[in-house]
Amino acid sequence: MTKELLQQVRVINPISNTDRVADVLIEDGFIKSVADKISDIPDNTSIRDCASLILGPGLVDLYSHSGEPGFEERETVASLLKAAAAGGFTRITLLPDTSPSIDNPAVVAQLQQLCKNSNSSLPLLNIWGAITKDVKGEKMTELADLKNAGVVGFADGDALNNLALVRRVLEYLQPLRKPAAFWCCDRNISSDGIMREGADSIQWGLPGNPAASETSAIAALLELVASTFTPTHIMRVSTKRSVELIEDAKAKGLPITASTTWMHLLLDTSSVKSYHTALNLKPPLGNPEDMMALRRGMREGILDAIAIDHSPFTYEEKTVAFAQAPPGAIGLELALPLLWQNLVETGEFTALELWKALSTNPAECLNQSPSNIVAGEKAELTLFNPQETWKVDSNNLHSLSSNTPWLGEELTGKVVGIWC
């Protein structure tokens, strides 16, 4: 039996809404005791001085991408789980846009077997089942079969513009009691837009993607949710008007949750000035007023969770002109330190607000029980040193890809351990 005592660690627990310094005793994978000071220490206990360290529930990612199966040079399941662990995540949820896509029980079983073959101390891999199974996104998968195969819910990696199909999906999902997640984007409106339309897109000379491409699609989805009342998650919210639409829908009692990604909380269109291809994202970074609205929405509970949307691509794929680069950036190992330093250390977010958006709320969006730091619970925890510095380079990253605008920079804040 393993026994660990974390002495005088700062414990952040969103469930009890507490932020305190305490001793935490962990025995054989369970939390044995949490107290101001634990003096009755069992024999053979490993004692660790955790002054200046932060202990919180394990982080939960709502949606990210893997290369495997199909593009193992970008990321394997093993490297994805290692990157997640290094970033403090104890649960990660894989989007179905692999090759072949996760649109049938056989692919689900293949991924589950890969997880069984990996180190048991790595995070839990949840799997989104695909909503559609053809290239055009016009044919619905066998949702019940995927549910029985063990998927956590249903999503597509891309936007669905066939509203009749979306309505039918919402009706079919009602009895399955599994979450459904949609990225809202009208591709007829977005057209060939590369960055969010506005003054910066004109200045940087890149085709603009109007905010209406997202907001019109969200408005349409909300109308369908109102008619079916199927619980729905809205992914990748990126504009000020989207936050307003979601706030109004929640005030009317619609069964929706929503998330934005960590990079949309930290950066806006002004960052695209560098033309760094890791800033070509889907959806594009918002204008400054969009970023501030997303932060407000997160603080006020209009938006429920921060997703990582980890999107690995090889050096060759990203070393092209900005407009030709595939959209996406890695983030599992970078999100917590950058969010902490830019939002918590500045006083804009409390530690509880940030940790809740990265742990408790994402679990609840997946209809899962969140981790709780109380005696008797399983130890699903993240230990974080907000003052440790490290350099972002290919030697320090566990991901096989390094497509990030922070490559080569020194960051402050590093995860020093997880319990899964």
Residues with a known catalytic role? 309
CA distances from 318 to 194, 235, 289, 323, 335 (A): 15, 24, 28, 10, 20
Reduced to 3 states (helix: H, G, I; strand: E, B; else coil), residue 161 is: coil
The CA distance from 136 to 277, in Å, is 27
Residue in 409, 410, 206, 407 with CA at minimum distance from that of residue 319? 407
Find the farthest-apart pair of alpha carbons in the chain and give their distance in angstroms, rounded.
67
- Residue 4's SS3 state is strand
Q: Are strands 124-130 and 153-155 parallel, antiparallel or unpaired?
A: parallel
Which single residue is written with the structure tokens 């990079």? 263
Q: Are 85 and 123 in contact (CB under 8 A)?
A: yes
Q: Report how far residue 118's alpha carbon sits from residue 116's, in angstroms, rounded to the nearest whole number.
A: 5
Question: Is the preceding omega at residue 362 within 30 degrees of 0, hence cis?
Answer: no
- Distance between CA 287 and CA 293 in Å, rounded? 10
- Asked if residue 135 lies in contact with residue 189, where contact means CB atoms within 8 angstroms, the answer is no
Residue with tokens 């008797």, as numbered in its chain: 376
Q: Does 69 sit behind a cis peptide bond, omega within 30 degrees of 0 on the bond before it?
A: yes
